[in-house]
Amino acid sequence: MAPSLLDLAPVVPVVVIEDASDAVPLARALVAGGLLAIEVTLRTPVALDAIRAIAGEVPEAVVGAGTVITPDQVTETVAAGARFLVSPGWTDVLLEAMRASGVPFLPGVSTTSEVVALLERGVTEMKFFPAEAAGGTAYLRSLAGPLPQARFCPTGGIGSANAPDYLALPNVGCVGGTWMLPADAIAARDWGRVEALAREAAELKLNLKTLRAQV
């Protein structure tokens, strides 16, 4: 069985690419820093081209598509080379399209009822979004008791300061964030800085056992 998407890395970079020519060097910097799973969001016109370029030129990366909200986007992104899918929310139509794609997926949830509904449908790995606005670590901690089978990738409002608090929770496999991709570094194409920040984020995994022992 393939490893869980939630276990590939402690942090999944959430990437918004404005210039397709940045896709490959940016992905190489993240991979060099130890972050193999890269979520390219469908928020720009060049997102599909970026996914295609990373899939073709950075084979070490596990590139996925984020902000997937329609069945057509599921089809287009998988055809472009996406190896996982992430949505901010879900419907039965979108869920079935993601399930039929054959690649791992994380449907988005922000309420207990949404989590239970996904568990009913056999889905145990989810995106918790928007994490901070939806209740943060306190909310996720409260779900661990009654719903221990659900595991999450919280995204939204997470940075280097609070990522360890999320990663310490037993029902959190990884977090999504953008802090290793500062706008000024991207604008300057300072891939060395991106790599260094990615390495710091990847090192959070080394501290997971200690963090969870403190919860």
Residues catalogued as catalytic: 39, 127
Distance CA 183, CA 181 (A): 6
SS3 sequence, the chain? Answer: CCCCHHHCCCEEEEECCCCHHHHHHHHHHHHHCCCCEEEEECCCCCHHHHHHHHHHHCCCCEEEEECCCCHHHHHHHHHHCCCCEECCCCCHHHHHHHHHHCCCEECEECCHHHHHHHHHCCCCEEEECCCCCCCHHHHHHHHHCCCCCCEEEEECCCCCCCHHHHHCCCCECCEEECCCCCHHHHHCCCHHHHHHHHHHHHHHHHHHHHHHHCC
Residue 213 burial (CB count, 10 A):
8
3-state SS, 157-194, equals CCCCCCHHHHHCCCCECCEEECCCCCHHHHHCCCHHHH
